[in-house]
Each structure stands twice: as structure tokens, then as C-alpha cells.
Amino acid sequence: MAGITIKDVARESGVSTATVSRVLSNKGYASDEIRERVLSVVKKLNYQPNAVARSLKNERTNTIGVIIPDISNSYFMTISKGIEDTLHQSGYNLIFCSGDENPKKEKEMLKVLLEKRVDAIVLATSGENEEMVTKIINSGLPVILVDRKINDQNHGLDLVVEDNIEAAFELTKTLILQGHERIGIVNGCLNVSTGLERYMGYKKAIAEFGIQENPELIFKGSFTQNDGIKAVDYFLNFTEKPTAILSFNNSMTFGVILQLTRRGIRIPKDVTVASYGEIEAAQLLKSPRIISVNQTPYEMGLKVGEILLTRLTNNVNGPIYEKFKPTLSIK
């Protein structure tokens, strides 16, 4: 039976809508006989209370909006898993959206989440939406940034990020200490904080060793697998090819490994590969020896969840800032 309302339940039960509401919310008095009668009618009619109506009354929907730039990237999905594991046990559900590294789509997703009346938004931004985020903050809705900043000030928002500059510095330094000076760089979007900061870490390392940057060895990507594929084709066109390729996220690195393998280039015998982020597929290669930054996305997600619960239940003042420090490994 479609379109059953609380009025239908009240009519069938022979009570008022207020009595039905008290029974369903388990608040206020209703005799055992009335309670049993109402619940029996609810089951008989298959009545489903309107969540939107409840949220209007309670000013809570118990939903959290999560916008990540790439829903196919295991890194962001692992962050999301950590958030969900923390919040679900407290009765919150998550609505996931993918910005697809597209600021315009991200803005649309922010509007959708506002229309859904979520209780808070977790944002790993694709950039360029500072004005929209400011409007959301001014409306009183909590916004927590994860992985990426929106600018240097971040509007006093809660923030959970990695130390991108230091990790990229150590990654580059490792390559230099191995004797590599001609390093092909696969950059991410420089209008996104992670892309810019990792590039800054690289520049800091070569400056420390007195190496001059070679602009032709910088490939401008946007954090996608296809960028890694294109970067390899670009670097292999040079007469003097890079001895190492440094890619600044896991998706681009996967593209790098894929294309090097397709073209018969051996890792690390012919070229060394370094990656900001671990690549699960690298385990399928025979002795790949890929240098990578070990990230902790699940732990970052757990921390985001903890901050959200603090915001939603304790109404704390002041921004909370957490910076995770990744480590390096060679596998």
C-alpha cells in the first residue's frame, strides 16, 4: 500500500496523530494496550515514518555528507571507511559524492548536500570553491576539511591533513641520494593544496642539494591514472631520458607503472619509480623496488569521525588541526 501517512495509522488505530507520534518516538505516555494497537497497525500498513519530516522537527537528519575528488581512488575510499566506522556506531549515515577533480561538479554536490539537510560536510576539495564553502560555514553547518586545504587560512575550519611538503622532500631526497639528478616529475593539480605542497617539497629537496630544476622534466597532471600514462610517453621521447620518475599520487603512479610495463621498461633496472602513496598493483610485479610514501588514510578517517562527533555533540569552539606524518618504504 503506497502513500501511507501518520493520519492513516491514527485513523486505523482509533487514536490521535499525537498519540501515534508518542508511540513511534517512544516519548510521552501511552498505555500498553494503545501502544500494542498502534504498533500492530504500523506493521499491518507497512508505515514508514518520513525521515525528512522528522528532521524538520528535530533539526537533525543524522546524515553526514562526504565529498571526495575521486571515488575510484582507494586512498579516499579508505578515508571514507574510517569516517563511517566511527560515525555509524553513533547512529549517523554517510552520503558519498565524487567531485571528480572538477570544481564545478564539487559545487553542485555541495548544493545537493545542503538540500539534503545533512548535519555536517566532510570535504576533500578539488579547489576553487572557497566562496561556496564560506557561505556554508556562515549558515552554521560544520565543514571539516580532509587531505586538502582550501587556502592558507582555511576559514578557521577543522582540518585533517598530511605533511605533504616534508614527505615529498624525503621522497625526492631518497632519489637524489641514490644518484638520480635527472628526475621526471608527474605533478598533480597545483591549484589543489596537496599538488602544490608536494611540488614544493620536491623543489626544497633539489635546492638543498644544489640541483637546478629542469622545466622540461615537469609533467603537469591532474591526479589521474591517464596522467601517469601520458607522462611516461612524454619522458620516453627525450634522447636523454630520466633515470627516475617521481609521481605525486597513487593513481598517477599506477598509470606510470602500467605504461612502463607496456613499453618494456624494467623497474628499477631501466628506471626507478617513486610514488607519493602506495600502489597495491605493484605487488604483482617481480621485484619492483618502488619507493613510496606510506600514507595512513584509515587513521585519518577515524580522526575526522572523532572530530565530527565532538562538533555534533559537544559544540566545541575553535578549529581542530591534525597533521599526519607519512613514512617512506621500498617494496
Class of the CATH domain delimited by 60-162+297-324: alpha beta
pLDDT(54) > 80: no
pTM strictly above 0.85: no
Q: Where in the chain is the domain with CATH 3.40.50.2300?
A: 60-162+297-324, 164-294
pLDDT(1) > 60: no
Those residues whose C-beta lies under 8 Å from the C-beta of residue 120, and which sit 6 or more positions away, are 64, 65, 141, 142, 143, 144, 308, 311, 312
Residues 230/252, Cβ–Cβ less than 8 Å: no
Measured between alpha carbons, how far is 271 from 273 in angstroms, rounded to an integer? 7
Question: According to the 3-state scheme, what is the secondary structure of 36-68?
Answer: HHHHHHHHHHCCCCCHHHHHHHHCCCCEEEEEE
| pLDDT tens digits along 196-247 | 999 999 999 999 999 999 999 999 999 999 999 999 999 999 999 999 999 9
Residues 13/42, Cβ–Cβ less than 8 Å: no
pLDDT(311) > 90: no
Chain-centre distance for alpha carbon 162: 12
Q: What is the mean pLDDT of residues 302-313?
A: 91
Q: Which residue in 6, 7, 48, 13 sits closest to 33, CA to CA?
A: 13
The per-residue pLDDT for 53 is: 53
The per-residue pLDDT for 330 is: 74
CATH code, residues 6-49 = 1.10.260.40
Query: What is the grid cell recorded at 179?
Result: 644518484
In the predicted model, what is the mean pLDDT of the chain?
88
pLDDT(271) > 90: yes
CATH code, residues 164-294 = 3.40.50.2300
pLDDT(59) > 80: no
The per-residue pLDDT for 162 is: 96
Residue 218: what are its φ and ψ, rounded to 5°?
A: -105, 115
Q: What is the mean pLDDT of residues 304-312?
A: 91
Place of cell 610495463: 261
Q: Where in the chain is the domain with CATH 1.10.260.40?
A: 6-49
| pLDDT tens digits along 96-127 | 999 988 999 999 999 999 888 899 999 999 88
